[in-house]
Structure 1
């Protein structure tokens, strides 16, 4: 009887240690899942504010950072072959890095005097309101606006 009693006690101890090990493992697994979920909740993007049923119209605001087409058309353009050495200080466009050809139409920014291809600077100025080289704003003031006959020399 001693051997059966000691065998039963040994099996009970094994079952007890197995249940403790299993409980500890499940507890650690639950803790890891809980920390992972808490981390997810803290790092996700915030929810949009709830919309009310009383709002029937949606207001959309767009901000335009560049210059309008009507402002761009007032900037002077010159043909490279007719340009003087004082108006064009470089031999190439700083945007596309191509050398100027005699048939290229260039746009002169009035504030800083930098010259670019029209096909290069116009898209830039529609998005950015500054010169790509010196970052000065090329917006014409009423005093700087050239007369209508002097705007384009092509």
Structure 2
């Protein structure tokens, strides 16, 4: 006759063994289910990435939509001011050139960006405007720089493939 292994133990001992073995077993089961769920989600993400990468990669080459710099004739048309001994400007907060970060001195030649009336040393702003068509402080486009901007591409223009043969 088969004898139950815990037949001689008290009820409290039987509960202790059940809880002692059951809680770690339950914890292990929860951990395994979390691990399995993570693996399934990771596998699904990998499959999604493969589906996205099946499409060919193309890059549409477009010219920049902003002017790169201004020509000398346009720059020379901006007003110039020779600073007097009082060093007064229409905007009192404009006492420093935002390009070279030097304070204006008497007899400095300043140039004004017409659209925003910001002042700069003439040689500083001349060099800046040769490379950039915007005011260094407010980034507004001065008059005459927008017509140099490249026109947007039409929808009928062809795109160039990165991996064309």
Larger relative contact order (Cα-Cα within 8 Å, sequence gap ≥ 6)? 2
What TM-score, normalized to structure 1? 0.46
What TM-score, normalized to structure 2? 0.44
